[in-house]
Structure 1
């Protein structure tokens, strides 16, 4: 289970609040990439915080609501257009930057899940597997995942047929089949090869159908 050893170490060194940062949505074919930054209040930490991947959707929703109530939370989003123009790595870094900016406070230290930090003015440290080791990163993973899932549920209502309510934009079979039969939407990442190929394949088929 993740714990507070990273936060305690860096708070002691840097004499100020420590934020954890994580993202959701680097791999999907559709939808934005979402990052969250969380500064936990040691006096009000919801029970059950863990890596978002091992929690149910219902538990993530419950914990996200609790974190929004008792922690400092910032959410940052990078759009499909930004993903396609910057590439997914730099769009993810941009979303993380926006998440920290949205905290409302300036952290003394930022702990980032993964193997690199954005180019920003904050003192920071990356932590490989941080969502399973560091409590504030785990909390950020929950917020980022829940917020992005909610966005994909809304997009599923606007663009039915792709299965986004269940696959959240990832390359599931129903999603791939819809790309072939319905074609890409404005929310698809055209810089991803599966979407680019589907657009090429769908164009002639659509013209022939006319």
Structure 2
């Protein structure tokens, strides 16, 4: 079944959904998004971003942005990831995304099993992007935002296959990392990159 408003109805409006993209890659930022959907005009087809094609996500991104009551994005760059670790960097990205909404949500629904330290009332929902329509919308905004960034970075640092792998540690990416070495966008706190840096 597609995600619904079952969780949102249990909480005061405005209710924001929050999700992130990019915790696992070897390169690039981690991006979080927060979305408050207008329940009277929700775009059709919203689902967990992982279940949608790239073309479907791109189309939904524009429709979500146009129809939502509010949306915001939080980006944490590679230097911050390496300084904080990926967990705390993800929490920071979520904080920034909710701050970027420009309104105080009555409740924040967060995908996963952990919550940032913030002043907002919030609930963590495991597999929330498959259950809550607001979180699913946020997953689309976060994924498309980060994918677009990695496409730009692919032009700056060709050879790593970021257009296809978006910075994840595919065989192609790891082979290029060994051949070409790490870029400034590689996460040196991640083992495959750290081991290579030590070997240089």
TM-score scaled by length of structure 2 = 0.98
Aligned equivalent of 2:67: 70
**Between Structure 1 and Structure 2, how many residues are aligned?**
198
Alignment of 1:139-150 (within 5 A): 139-150=137-148
Aligned equivalent of 1:92: 90
Runs of 4+ residues deviating >3 angstroms: none
RMSD (CA atoms) = 0.6
- CA drift of 1:43 comes to 1.5
Aligned equivalent of 1:170: 168
Aligned equivalent of 2:48: 51
- CA drift of 1:197 comes to 1.1
Aligned equivalent of 1:10: 11
Is the partner of 2:43 in helix, strand or coil? coil
Aligned equivalent of 2:192: 194
Aligned equivalent of 2:36: 39
Aligned equivalent of 1:206: none
Counterparts of 1:106 and 1:81, CA distance in 2: 29
Counterparts of 1:73 and 1:198, CA distance in 2: 39
Counterparts of 1:106 and 1:135, CA distance in 2: 19
Given the alignment of the two structures, is residue 19 of structure 1 paired with residue 16 of structure 2, yes or no? yes
Aligned equivalent of 2:57: 60
Counterparts of 1:188 and 1:95, CA distance in 2: 18
TM-score scaled by length of structure 1 = 0.93
- CA drift of 1:17 comes to 0.3
Counterparts of 1:200 and 1:93, CA distance in 2: 29
The structure that has the greater radius of gyration is: 1
Aligned equivalent of 1:153: 151
Structure 1: segments with no counterpart, 5+ residues: 204-210
- CA drift of 1:44 comes to 1.4
Is the partner of 2:11 in helix, strand or coil? helix
Counterparts of 1:66 and 1:82, CA distance in 2: 31
Counterparts of 2:41 and 2:72, CA distance in 1: 17
Aligned equivalent of 2:183: 185
